[in-house]
Amino acid sequence: MIKSFISDESGATAIEYGLIAGLVAVAIIAALTALGGSLETLFTGVSDTVSAAASS
């Protein structure tokens, strides 16, 4: 019974998928943090352009 419990790897796949999902989430957070400043600049520029067009 102990041998079959030790050799059973059915839960290993779920753990591996969980680790991969965690790493992908960390990579996405890191990318968004790195691009945050440039995205803010982009959206500020778009907002200024729309505001200028609306007021003229």
- The per-residue pLDDT for range 23-48, each reduced to its tens digit, is 999 999 999 888 888 888 899 999 99
36 vs 44: CA distance, rounded Å: 12
Highest mean pLDDT (candidates 2-6, 13-17, 41-45) = 41-45
Asked if pLDDT for residue 49 goes beyond 80, the answer is yes
**What is the residue whose two structure tokens read 């753990």?**
15
Q: What is the pTM of this model?
A: 0.54
The pLDDT score that the predictor gives to residue 38 is 87
56 vs 53: CA distance, rounded Å: 5
When the pLDDT of each residue in the chain is averaged and rounded to a whole number, the result is 86
Asked if pLDDT for residue 12 goes beyond 80, the answer is no
Tokens standing for 39?
A: 């995205």
